[in-house]
Each structure stands twice: as structure tokens, then as C-alpha cells.
Chains A and B, each alone.
Chain A
Amino acid sequence: MHFFLELVTQTEQARRDFSTHPAVLDAVANGMPVERYRKLLLELYHVVWHFNPICAAAASRLPDEHRELRYFLYTHMDEEKGHEQWVLQDLEAIGFDPSEAARHTPSVHTLAMLGYNYWAADRRHPNSVFGMLYALEVMASVYGGPFSTALTERLFLQDSRGVSFLSSHATLDAEHMADLRKVLDPLSDDSSRQAIIESTNVNFHHFERLLENT
């Protein structure tokens, strides 16, 4: 079995726990009040801001035999560079001061997720970072679209103003998913596979906590 399918099936429970969580179902169906969306964007800002440093930490530790994975991270980091600005634009579009984001202290759930990902890249296994990528891309590509549509309707937003981060990632991450599969499928060493599976489960778990406590 190619690794991508193994990853999908081995982390099925975590993915389903996330997708069937009442907070997720409600957000996708009904959006959320503006104050709650503001809090979510403030948390997301820190998730996005730390995304590239985590990838860089992992890339710097990947051995040469995983050079394809390292190259993938370089490309991905380049693509994600500056996306925190989209979060700030969205905050401004819904009527809040974007400078608030950098001053905001992330919730314990965001800190736990970021802390795990830094630690995993540094001490657990550098390939753990691909669990973070996979979990975030599943969430964005599957739920980003309907969530941004629901928000647009609920908050009377125009076009993608206020939801540019979510709606853009819904499209972008569908393409990223195909790229991620291609780079993960040939992965054969067991320690890398297990690290990615573990990291996927942890990231789904933490993001679920983040969302339900926003």
C-alpha cells in the first residue's frame, strides 16, 4: 500500500472525530458570530505565522536521503510565505484592528499545537512536520470552502472580503493535497511513516480543541 493511503486510513478516526465534531458541523453549516470569528482569526494568525519556522526546523533536520521531502518543504514554505497577511486583511475587513493579532496571546490549545510541532520537528522526527501539513490541508481543503461560504452569508460579507484566508486555502490546498500525496507515497521507512501518522493525529486533536474553545 502506498503511504498516502496508509496515512489516510491510519488517521481515519482522528479525521472523523474532527469532521463530526459539533463545533465543526455548526461552523460549516452556520458560520459563526463575528466576535467568535475574530477570536478564531487571532488564533489562526499564530498558527500561520509559525507554520514556516516549523517547516524550516524540520527541513534543517531532514537527512539527505529525504532530500525530495526537504525540497517539497522549501517550495511549500515559499508558497505559504506572507499568508499571515491574509489573516490580518480578513480581521480588518470584519472591522477589527489587525495590529491586535501580533499582540494577542494564543490560547493554550494553539500553544499546545505549535509547541508539539516544534518539539516533534526538533526531537521526535523531522518528518513529523508532514503530519501537520496533511492535517491542515485536509481541514482547509474539505472545510475551508463551505466554512467561508457560511461566514460570508452569516456576516453579510462581499465577495471574499473577510474570508480571503479560508477561501484561498480551500482552493490552494486541494492542489497541495495532490502534491503532498506524490511526495509521501514513496516513503518507505517505518519510523518516518509512524511519525507522520502520530503527528497527524496530534494536529487534528489540537485543532479540534482550538476550534471548540474559540
Chain B
Amino acid sequence: MTGGDPIPAALDRHYKFLRLEWTQELRMLRLRMNVHPVPCYTFSAMSELRKAFNDIDANPGLVRHYVMTSDVPNVYNFGGDLELFALLVKARDLDSLKLYGRKCIDLIWWVEKAAERSIRTTVLAQGDALGGGLESVLPFQNIVFERSVRAGFPEALFNLFPGMGAWNFTIRRAGFQVANEMILSGSLYSADELLRRGMVDHVVDDGDGERKLENIVRSIDGRHHGQLAALRARTMAAPVTYESLAAIVDHWAETAMGLTDRDLRLMERLARAQVRKLGGAETGAAEEIKRIELETAWGEFQESTQTAAWES
């Protein structure tokens, strides 16, 4: 893959959680995200992304293609900072939770409006994208997943919902039925299942993502002007408004304040599972989600059996 050219001075900064790559020929900026120890959207990581976006905005015309990938093997992004959520909920800190949510949607909004800045956006996921990790790819103009990627919105499992654009962008990409199914079930989906639902644009075999990424960027580069105009028209045809994103994220934060101890424990359990896999364990967050789904189903089954026994 391309990307070995010197980073333009206007974009070159020292980042802790981002690695920048530049392809002069395509004027393509690629951000590789690497948040330690859990690849999720922490305040610090979001602050770095904001700086990168501000640098792009300060130099109109410099970047034609913005590409996002992960530097963490097998993980694209685990989404929201679950440990932080649990802490802020326990501290009854609604303002900070809202602030976190607003920072998330500000970044999503930048990607959503990239066409208006004459920038093409492409994302390649080579690892799992959970919750906010999946939400964050949905506004991209081109979404490429490698086949073994699993993704979904597990928030329903701990009595919450994905609040940073999931509803808006899933409805726009795949319709109400798919949004209801994915968001309310909390289930995980394979890359092919997501492709069938229209949530991603391309699924390629593992290891072929880089080649596909380059093909896409090169194929659209020659049709930049017309494609951008079409994409701007697309957002007019199916608009997502900042006001709607903001209202939903505030509602999300208020809902989070009502989480019970059990919900918070499940959230923390998922957060710990995310770390386990990265620490070399065989199972991680995706397997933990499956376990929580099974436990929930078993609990509901037991409850219904008891109720039936009482009624008889």
C-alpha cells in the first residue's frame, strides 16, 4: 500500500494515539488509531483526532482522501470508553457524560460533512468494531470490512443504547427494520451479514483489505468532482442533522444515569473482556457478548418457566 511520503508540515504533529501516513500522489491522509491498552474512544484519543481534523480544515485542498484504519491487530475499535462511563455514572456526572457524547458526535459530524470540504472518506476495518466503533464507521463514504470482522451494538445488553449516531446512520444506510433489529437486539454480526444488510459497502477476504482500499481510492480519485457533488446530494436526499445527533446523545447520557448496579457490572465485565483478549487470552469482548446474551436468555427462560409454574 502507498503512504510512505513525508507528512506535509501543516499536518505533522506528535500524536500518542494516532499514526499518520501520507500519499502525495493521491493527497491521501491515512490515520491509524492505536489507543492503549483498550482501543476505544477515550477523551485523549478524541482530542487527538480533533486536532488532526482541525489541521485538515486549516489547510483547505491539501487533503483529497481521508482514510481511517486501526493499528491494533484484530480490533478496529471497541467504541465508547466503558470504564469511563461506569465511573461517571457512579459519580452522577451527567454534564461530563454529555460532554463526552458531544465530543463523539463532533467527530462523526466532521466525517459526515467531509464531502463539503471536498474530501473523500474511506474506512477499512480489519478487526472487531463494537458499539461506538461501528457507529464511527457509518458516516464514511466507503466502508470496507475484512471477512472475519464482527460488529454490532452491544449496548442493549447492559440496558443502554448506542447514542452517537447509530440510529441516524443505520437508518440511512439500511433502513428502519435493520436499525431496529441491530440496535434493540445487541447482537453481533459477521461482515457478510452486515454487507447483506447494506451496512458496509465491501467485504474482502482477510488480508485483502489493503489492496481493496488502494483500489477504491484510486478508482474514485479520477472522478473526484462529480462524485463529491453526488455525495453532497446524497446527504441532501437523506439528511442527518447535528441537532438530531445532539438530542439523541443527550438522551443517551440521561438514560445512562439510570443504569443499575447490575447494568454497570455487565458494562465493566465487557470492558475487562476487551483487555483480556488484547492481553493474549483466547476469548475477548465478542465472546463475552455472546456469553451475556446466553445468560440473559437463560435468565428470561427461567423467569418465564417460574411464571408459568405459578400460573398453573
Residues of A whose CB lies within 8 Å of any CB of B are: 1-2, 4-5, 8-9, 12, 15-16, 19-20, 22, 25, 28-29, 138, 141-142, 145-146, 171, 174, 177-178, 180-181
Max chain A Cβ within 10 angstroms of own Cβ: one of B37, B86, B95, B96: B96
Question: Contact mask B16-43 → A, CB, 8 Å, 1/0?
Answer: 0000000000000000000011100011
- B92 touching A181, Cβ below 8 Å: yes
**Bound CA span A19–B271, Å:** 10
- A145 touching B261, Cβ below 8 Å: yes
Contacts of B92 in A (CB 8 A): 178, 181
Residues of B whose CB lies within 8 Å of any CB of A are: 36-38, 42-44, 83-84, 86-88, 90-93, 95-96, 99, 261, 265, 268-269, 271-272, 275-276, 279
- A178 touching B96, Cβ below 8 Å: no
**Bound CA span A25–B38, Å:** 14
- A25 touching B272, Cβ below 8 Å: yes
Contacts of B88 in A (CB 8 A): 5, 8
Sorted from nearest, which 6 A-B pairs have the closest CB atoms? A181-B91, A5-B96, A178-B92, A20-B37, A177-B91, A177-B90
- B90 touching A146, Cβ below 8 Å: no
Chain B nearest CB from A1 CB (Å) reads 8
Return the contact of A142 from the options B38, B86, B93 (Cβ within 8 A).
Answer: B86
Q: Are A19 and B261 also in contact (CB < 8 A) when A2-B96, A142-B268, A181-B91 are?
A: no
Chain B minimum-CB-distance residue to A180: B91
Q: Are A145 and B265 also in contact (CB < 8 A) when A5-B99, A16-B38, A20-B38 are?
A: yes
- A16 touching B83, Cβ below 8 Å: yes
Chain A minimum-CB-distance residue to B280: A22
Return the contact of A20 from the options B84, B86, B87, B275 (Cβ within 8 A).
Answer: B275
- B272 touching A28, Cβ below 8 Å: yes
Given A20-B38, A145-B261, 18 additional A-B pairs, CB 8 A: A2-B95, A4-B93, A5-B88, A5-B99, A12-B43, A12-B84, A15-B83, A16-B37, A19-B272, A20-B37, A20-B275, A22-B279, A142-B268, A145-B265, A146-B268, A174-B261, A177-B90, A178-B90
Contacts of B86 in A (CB 8 A): 142
- B275 touching A8, Cβ below 8 Å: no
**Bound CA span A180–B269, Å:** 25
**Bound CA span A19–B278, Å:** 13
Chain A nearest CB from B45 CB (Å) reads 10
Contacts of A1 in B (CB 8 A): 99
Chain B nearest CB from A22 CB (Å) reads 7
Q: Are A141 and B90 also in contact (CB < 8 A) when A4-B96, A25-B279 are?
A: yes
